[in-house]
Amino acid sequence: MAQLKFLPWLCCFLLGLGAISPVTAGPVPPRDPDSPYLLNRSSWQEITPSLDVEVRKAVRQGELDIAVVLLDKLPPGQTPEGLAGELYQGWQIGDLRDGRGVLYLYSQEDDRLVAAVSPEVEELFPNAFLRDSEELARGYLRSDHPHDFVSTLVTRLAARALDGDQPYQPIQPPSSQEMAGADTSPGQESASGSAETAPELKGDGTILDTQLAKISRFQEPSAEQLAQYSAGMTPEETYRNYLKSLKDGINYPYLDVLTEGSRYMRLEWPKSKGHYVDLYRKYQEAGEIDIQQQMDLAVVKHPIGGSYAPILMRQSRDGKWRIDVTKGWAYVTGADNPNLYTFLFTDHPWMFAYREVERKKSTPKLPDLTPADANLAEEIARLEAEIQRDPTAAHHYFRLGEIFYWDCYWISQAFEIIEKGLEHDPRNLNAHWLAVTARYRHPDHSGLGDLYEGILAVDPRNTRALWGYAWFAESVKKDPELAAELKKRWKKAK
């Protein structure tokens, strides 16, 4: 019998998830042979299709038998530990992968996460690993991203399974005492900068104001601490100060070392302190860096294929360099190995540092870089006002969607505003493709069928759309007849 490893109750309530309403009640059914890896009886029904794809990918990558059970509430008289034990035995977790199995059970009402690990992989997934996984994943619950809560858990299982010959090193965020004693002497790190001021909230109900209000999720460090994470006058100085912020586990968005859009990205995707400490360790383990600069752009180049996004920088008119985290994330994709990232877009302006990578024309087309000194908050407010004045002007929706996606990494806001624009200009193929990209990246597959149909209405022989739609029909929509028809059309269009 597996040893059950009960994860700690890290928080007693969920922020921003809204009221929890039952989806179904009664005893949990036997393991479904058609969907053996995911049982979703939570209020998060919309994430089921994309999550099923994610869990199956982790199963394949890690050669593990993974089962994820999401419940709105526990059956009467059950505890999370007791139900996990029953499910583990009743579903024979591990049998599908030579005894290598892990079961995760989460109850919304209790906010409890429990893991059951088979004896064959107990050493691979020690308690410290499971605790760290929960701590890293819970940030997504606090930011209304339940898909990424579960995705983080299963992706870490696969990544750890592929890296299992190395002893697990627990993540150890700095203590409050360590942070209080952080070095602020100007000789080691630049202490000349100042904390970036959060934009003023207007309470007007706009997308911008709603996003900026999310600063309430964060605790602001002292001005003395923030001064250590200033933008530098050289890429090397900026990189040092950025690394220090990671090492210190600083998750506060408004750091001078970050571009404005990167600060806004942190508002939408708050990470735990442990996440940044873990990222610091990955950069440290990556080996020798090569900083390359071209005009007002720079790259801190690590070996391609590491388990981290590239560090891209921009220089402002004041001569200071800042990290553009959003571009680093938006331009890459997770490879089939979860420990690796590769470029999804290979014609972006920082490719001068990656001459060994083959260039391909991007779909969607990458927009010109927003000027480094542009005030994104003002531009977003202007575009929202333009849409209010003329709700039929599709180009304002599309430009706003580009800023949301490429500059702020506000992914759901991007595809939602773009799709509103498509109601007024349904023939804009680039807008369709950006919405498709954003929905896959979020992920939210619910509108993909309509987007593919829209592309094919304009260009019936678009092979990219036909193939993508066929995959969606087969893997997500579970419609083999539609998938077969689309594949036939794809063959004829090639």
Examine the pLDDT at 130 and tell me if it is beyond 50. Answer: yes
Pair 157, 102: CB distance under 8 Å? yes
Residue 145, both tokens: 């991203």
**Helix, strand, or coil (residue 36):** coil
Pair 261, 408: CB distance under 8 Å? yes
Pair 253, 215: CB distance under 8 Å? yes
- The pLDDT value recorded for residue 407 is 97
- The pLDDT value recorded for residue 418 is 98
- The pLDDT value recorded for residue 304 is 59
CA distance 91 to 89: 6
CA distance 12 to 21: 18
Residue predicted with more confidence, 16 or 322? 322
Residue 105, both tokens: 């059970």
Pair 366, 406: CB distance under 8 Å? yes
pLDDT tens-digit series, residues 220-268: 999 999 999 999 999 999 999 999 999 999 999 999 999 999 999 999 9
- The pLDDT value recorded for residue 307 is 64
CA distance 324 to 313: 5
Examine the pLDDT at 1 and tell me if it is beyond 90. Answer: no
CA distance 132 to 259: 29
CA 419 from centroid of its chain's CA atoms: 21
3-state secondary structure 250-276: CCCCCCCCECHHHHHHHHHCCCCHHHH
- The pLDDT value recorded for residue 196 is 66
The kind and range of the H/E element at 315 are strand 311-315
The burial class, CB within 10 Å (0-12 / 13-18 / 19+), for 183 is exposed
pLDDT-derived band of residue 22, with 50, 70 and 90 as boundaries? Answer: very low
Neighbours of 130 (CB within 10 A): 23
**Helix, strand, or coil (residue 461):** coil
CA distance 304 to 342: 7
CA distance 335 to 283: 18
CA distance 433 to 455: 8
CA distance 165 to 379: 50
* Residues 381-389, mean pLDDT to the nearest whole number: 96
Residue 432, both tokens: 């369709």
CA distance 491 to 32: 34
Based on its alpha-carbon atoms, the radius of gyration of the chain, rounded to whole angstroms, reads 23
Examine the pLDDT at 466 and tell me if it is beyond 90. Answer: yes
pTM: 0.85
For 283-299, the DSSP string reads: HHHT---EEEEETTEEE
Pair 463, 494: CB distance under 8 Å? yes
Location of structure tokens 């009743």: 90
68-to-114, 117, 147, 281 alpha-carbon distances in Å: 10, 12, 12, 29
CA distance 39 to 18: 21
Nearest to 4 by CA among 137, 132, 148, 127: 127
Q: What share of the chain is helix, strand, coil (3-state, %, to 5)?
A: 45, 10, 40
Q: Which ranges in 63-194 belong to alpha helices (H)?
A: 80-90, 127-142, 146-162, 176-180
Examine the pLDDT at 181 and tell me if it is beyond 60. Answer: no
The burial class, CB within 10 Å (0-12 / 13-18 / 19+), for 346 is middle
Q: Are strands 297-301 and 311-315 parallel, antiparallel or unpaired?
A: antiparallel
Please name the residues in contact with 334: beta carbons below 8 A apart, sequence gap of 6 or more. Answer: 340, 341
**Helix, strand, or coil (residue 371):** coil
pLDDT tens-digit series, residues 279-335: 898 888 877 888 999 999 999 987 655 667 789 999 999 999 999 999 999 998 765
Which residue type sits at 162? L
CA distance 217 to 213: 9
